[in-house]
């Protein structure tokens, strides 16, 4: 995952956390507990909030395991073919150095 993708994922996670905390606070503090419409709306909102939390957790776990798998594959590849790993690292460093030198 690129640094830009990690940044957006972190922002999305922070935004969803803030949204869920705000929704929980609104549900705790608003409405007439005796009103049937309020009770139904609150139940639907709590269900939707719990669903979003589950999906976010599942998605986060899935990305974590995919990234971990990619790291292990790269580690295995470098251990099997160390000179290719050194060559790829040198080429990446050269390209990055040229790009930074142009600024």
What are the boundaries of each domain within the chain?
Answer: 3-101
Structure pTM?
0.43
CB neighbours of residue 55 within 10 Å:
11
Q: What is the pLDDT of residue 29?
A: 67
Q: How far apart are CA 92 and CA 98, in angstroms?
A: 10
Q: What are phi and psi of 65, to 5 degrees?
A: -70, -35
Residues of the chain under the 70 pLDDT cut: 1-10, 27, 29-34, 103
Average pLDDT over the chain reads 78
Q: Look at residues 69, 47, 54 and name the one whose alpha carbon lies nearest to residue 1.
A: 69
Q: What is the pLDDT of residue 7?
A: 65
Contact partners, residue 13, CB within 8 Å, separation at least 6? 56, 60
């Amino acid at each position: 995952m690129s640094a830009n993708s990690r940044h957006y994922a972190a922002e999305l996670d922070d935004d969803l956390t803030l949204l869920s905390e705000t929704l929980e606070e609104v549900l705790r503090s608003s409405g007439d507990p005796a009103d049937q419409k309020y009770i139904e709306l609150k139940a639907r909102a709590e269900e939707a909030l719990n669903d979003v939390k589950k999906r976010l957790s599942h998605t986060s776990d899935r990305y974590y395991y995919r990234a971990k798998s990619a790291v292990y594959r790269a580690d295995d590849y470098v251990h099997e073919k160390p000179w290719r790993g050194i060559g790829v690292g040198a080429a990446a460093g050269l390209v990055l150095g040229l790009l930074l030198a142009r600024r």
